[in-house]
Amino acid sequence: MNRQLAGWIIALIVLVAVPFVHRDPYHLHILVLILIWSFAYTSWSIMGRFGLVSLGHGGFMGIGAYVTALLWNHLGITPWIGIPLSMATAGVLALIVAYPCFRFRITGHYFVLVTLALSGIVLQVITATRDYTGGSLGYTPQRAPSGKGLIALQFDDKTTWYLIALTVWVVGLAVWRAIDRSMSRHAMEAISEDEDAAAAAGVNVTAEKLKITLISALMTALAGALYCQYQMFISPDTVSGIAVSLQMVFAAIVGGVYVALGPTVGAIITILLAEVLRISFGTKAVGWDNLVYGVLLVLFIIFLPKGILGSVIDLVKSPRKPPRGHEQQTVPIARR
């Protein structure tokens, strides 16, 4: 146990030291993107690992990004207040949609499609209110006057952003670990196997599911807000909508939904794949990255449903022991 802890601390020190040793801005940019998206994917799999497959996370991410940027541009509210407000907005929306869903036992296909409607609504609202949000042309937070970068949460320095993204990513992993070691995890696993049995065993099904959904939605909104502050440009297609939701699902599954670092591995693979294709083929590569994603997603779900990291860990830990039954399914789900 101590050796494991020491390993983690050393890994963290190495990660913190990276921008001071290696100052290449392009590489740092890629690392920051990987960290922010890893955090978003981790947020998704906090729900996804328990069979709560949501396609509404694109909506939460869009709310995080747009509410923060709109408050800053139109009301001059600093992102330090704007980000918590945007997270609260996403949380409230998550509760409004999720409570009746869980109360009325909307699971499986139905839950997926209700959440799909949610991200559809957010995308259409952003497009429809184009007088404020710029519609599908995208939106840029106003540049802060020089010297006020800290208040506006805008930094030109990639190192600062790297450290911010790293902190948030570590917090995301800590949340994952806290849930993994809590009673909630056992309750949620019971629920994902059989809701009625779990309820009979004394699990408050609705409350447990709501808790997990709320945490996941808040974290996703934070990821959206950070992405907006870092890129300084958002458009409905890059931060909200069904395509973003599917992208989260894809990366999390390829990396592995059941292990803490799985979504991170997924983010590394997807972002590096897109960048390599972009650099080596230029504009000809438009579409190829998604083609490869799609083929990989189908192959993974058929042949390697535990994801890359999940399968590797299984192989290292117990080469011969058959994997535990319920984890063999990518996402276990209570049947209707």
Partner 1 sequence: MQSFLDIFDIYLLEAVINGILLGGVLALLALGLNLIFGVIDVTWICYAELVMIGMYGMYYLVQVYHLPYWAAAPLVILLVALLGAALHYLVIAPLLTAPPINQLLATGGVLFILQSFATVAFGIDFRNLGIRLPVLALGEMNFSYARLLSFVAALLGMIGVYLFLTRTFTGTAIRAIAQDRQIMPLMGVDTKRIYLITSAVGGGLAGLAACLLVLQYDVHPFVGLSFGPITFLICVLGGLGNFIGGFIAAFVFAEIISLGGLFSDLEWGYVLAFAFFIVMMFIRPAGLLARRS
Taking the least distance from each CB to partner 1, the nearer of 117 and 171 is 117
Judged by CB under 8 A, the chain residues 292 through 321 that form the site for partner 1 are 293-298, 301-302, 305
Least gap, CB of 58 to partner 1 (angstroms): 12
Contact range with partner 1 by CB under 8 A, out of 7-15, 28-36, 199-207, 235-243 = 235-243
- CB environment 105-125: b (16+ within 10 A), e (fewer): ebbeeebbebbbebbbebbeb
Binding mask 68-107 for partner 1 (x = CB under 8 A): -----------------------------x--xx--xxx-
**Cβ atoms of residues 233 and 138 within 8 Å:** yes
What single-letter DSSP state applies at residue 330?
S
As a whole number of angstroms, the longest Cα–Cα distance in the chain is 61
Judged by CB under 8 A, the chain residues 187 through 216 that form the site for partner 1 are none
Site for partner 1 contains 274 (CB under 8 A): no
Judged by CB under 8 A, the chain residues 242 through 271 that form the site for partner 1 are 242-243, 246, 249-250, 253
Contact range with partner 1 by CB under 8 A, out of 19-27, 109-117, 155-163, 217-225 = 109-117
- CB environment 236-273: b (16+ within 10 A), e (fewer): bbbbbbbebbbbbbbbbbbbbbbbbbbbbbbbbbbbeb
189's tokens: 């696993």
Cα 129 to Cα 122: distance, rounded to the nearest angstrom: 11
Site for partner 1 contains 121 (CB under 8 A): yes
Burial of 318 from C-beta contacts in 10 A (0-12 / 13-18 / 19+): exposed
Q: Which of 60, 232, 230, 32 is nearest to 138 (CA)?
A: 232
Site for partner 1 contains 53 (CB under 8 A): yes
Burial of 323 from C-beta contacts in 10 A (0-12 / 13-18 / 19+): middle
Taking the least distance from each CB to partner 1, the nearer of 121 and 170 is 121
Binder among 195, 208, 289, 314 for partner 1 (CB under 8 A): 289
Please report, as ranges, the residues that interact with partner 1 according to CB under 8 A: 51, 53, 97, 100-101, 104-106, 108-110, 112-114, 116-118, 120-121, 124-125, 127-128, 241-243, 246, 249-250, 253, 286-291, 293-298, 301-302, 305, 329-333, 335
